[in-house]
Structure 1
């Protein structure tokens, strides 16, 4: 197996624009074929340029995206009376809030109601039955395109920490300190590491690899230079940098800006 040849763009905005146009084309093709489109999404900073570009393009030229299901990768968990559960939806670091405001809120913003993604078509793994998520995705035919991002310092993908087995599926995990520090940048209202939850529910490496028909890893900015170095040369999955799952995904691609690629 050969390493993926990264596609390099001048900046994050150009990367987002090009990817957004291609993704909207894929979504339109699915609509023409009268089939649903499952889009796997992380809850972090990396895809923001693409979401913003998609929102702008949809506002300029409305397109029916009501057949799209957003399959979210993970969420933070906190202790409750019965055990671990999603953080409150209105928490500044809630991935459910992120999906509401920064994904479907942006994509639906300029569309008539009939063209919008319904809120019921935003999926999250249930911490009370994580394994059911893989079954749900498989029953829906798999994820048409999985957008991926890499942890800047430890290569986590979703909440999968270093050492995650290739066979891992959706589950509850303890969050590594590096992952928690990276996520302080994603959710800057955290005032200290102590405020970042220590547990999360996440799709697994197998979930990403086996249940996606295509996948795109997005890397931009100086903070992703280390990640780019690991991923650009990866030929197979390396548990010491879990984001290398992109190397074993079907139709895997790496999109990066010049800063991340040191180009």
Structure 2
């Protein structure tokens, strides 16, 4: 597979080695942010893609008793349900909740081997709120921007967070209708869904404009055979294409693509 774009591409032998390389970069960034007396903001997707990064981050932090108290997880999105006053965040105990994922699959993992004073605190997990979506962008901007955004691409339609095909490169955080492809991809992300009818139809999502405009660096992560099409589509792109939202990477500062060897292979 040959890239026609200038975005740096790194192929790692395994997802685990991919995760370790990015985790080491995050830890270095946290150290530099601490020296500057500020927090380190990490843009985070829920789901399978960044799991190797979170696992490696926990392992490396535990080995060195690293201080994660200055880390902030800027979560990308959350599902919405109908509430008495309009759209509301889903129950954080729901199997598909991105806030549940952040607590159980990220915060618990990175804190597992750390003493309490060095752990990532509960207040260090941010999520947008449907009552005032624009406030999320203001909060990120006021904090100095996201130091590193970990990005994932939908396998079937290239969605990033809940931004569906056709999304504008300038759009900020807001309430979106989930595309059919996004809902089907999320059935695999959250296997507790027995049928697509169970997948919520709306969510609140960080915008493509937020990713590109409020991040200092962005890393697109793709691993596994099911991400070969997404990898090829991204590598063959030359600029942002609304039909494949993951191409927002072209508009990001200091973009990178990280693949495992399987995702880097030509799809059969």
Q: 2:156 aligns with which of 128, 153, 158?
A: 153
Distance 1:192 1:73 in 2: 24
Q: TM-score, normalised by structure 2?
A: 0.96
Query: Would you say how many aligned residue pairs link Structure 1 and Structure 2?
Result: 263
Question: What is the DSSP-based 3-state SS (H/G/I as helix, E as strand, rest coil) of the residue aligned with 1:166?
Answer: coil
Q: TM-score, normalised by structure 1?
A: 0.97
Contact 2:8 2:255 (8 Å CA) reproduced: no
Which deviations, in whole Å up to 9, do the C-alpha atoms of 1:214-236 show, x marking residues without a partner?
Answer: 00000000010011011113232
Distance 1:112 1:242 in 2: 40
- Unpaired stretches in structure 1, ≥5 consecutive residues: none
> Are 2:227 and 1:224 equivalent residues in the alignment?
yes
Contact 1:3 1:234 (8 Å CA) reproduced: no
Contact 1:75 1:202 (8 Å CA) reproduced: yes
Please give the residue correspondences for 1:201-216 in structure 2 after superposition, counting only pairs within 5 Å. Answer: 201-216=204-219
> Are 2:43 and 1:30 equivalent residues in the alignment?
no
Alignment correspondent of 2:245: 242
Which deviations, in whole Å up to 9, do the C-alpha atoms of 1:15-42 show, x marking residues without a partner?
Answer: 1111111211111121122221111101
Shift of 1:2: 4.2
Distance 2:141 2:117 in 1: 27
CA RMSD of aligned residues (A): 1.2
Alignment correspondent of 1:253: 256
Contact 2:226 2:263 (8 Å CA) reproduced: yes
Q: 1:133 aligns with which of 121, 136, 140?
A: 136
Please give the residue correspondences for 1:1-263 in structure 2 after superposition, counting only pairs within 5 Å. Answer: 2-262=5-265
Shift of 1:108: 1.1
Distance 1:2 1:13 in 2: 26
Question: What is the DSSP-based 3-state SS (H/G/I as helix, E as strand, rest coil) of the residue aligned with 2:237?
Answer: coil
Which deviations, in whole Å up to 9, do the C-alpha atoms of 1:143-181 show, x marking residues without a partner?
Answer: 000100000000000000000011111010110110000
Which deviations, in whole Å up to 9, do the C-alpha atoms of 1:208-262 show, x marking residues without a partner?
Answer: 0000000000000001001101111323211000011112110000000111110
Which deviations, in whole Å up to 9, do the C-alpha atoms of 1:97-131 show, x marking residues without a partner?
Answer: 00001111111111111111111121101011111
Contact 2:239 2:250 (8 Å CA) reproduced: yes
Structure 1 residue ranges (4+ consecutive) displaced by more than 4 angstroms after TM superposition: none
Question: What is the DSSP-based 3-state SS (H/G/I as helix, E as strand, rest coil) of the residue aligned with 1:232?
Answer: helix
Distance 2:147 2:25 in 1: 13
- Unpaired stretches in structure 2, ≥5 consecutive residues: none
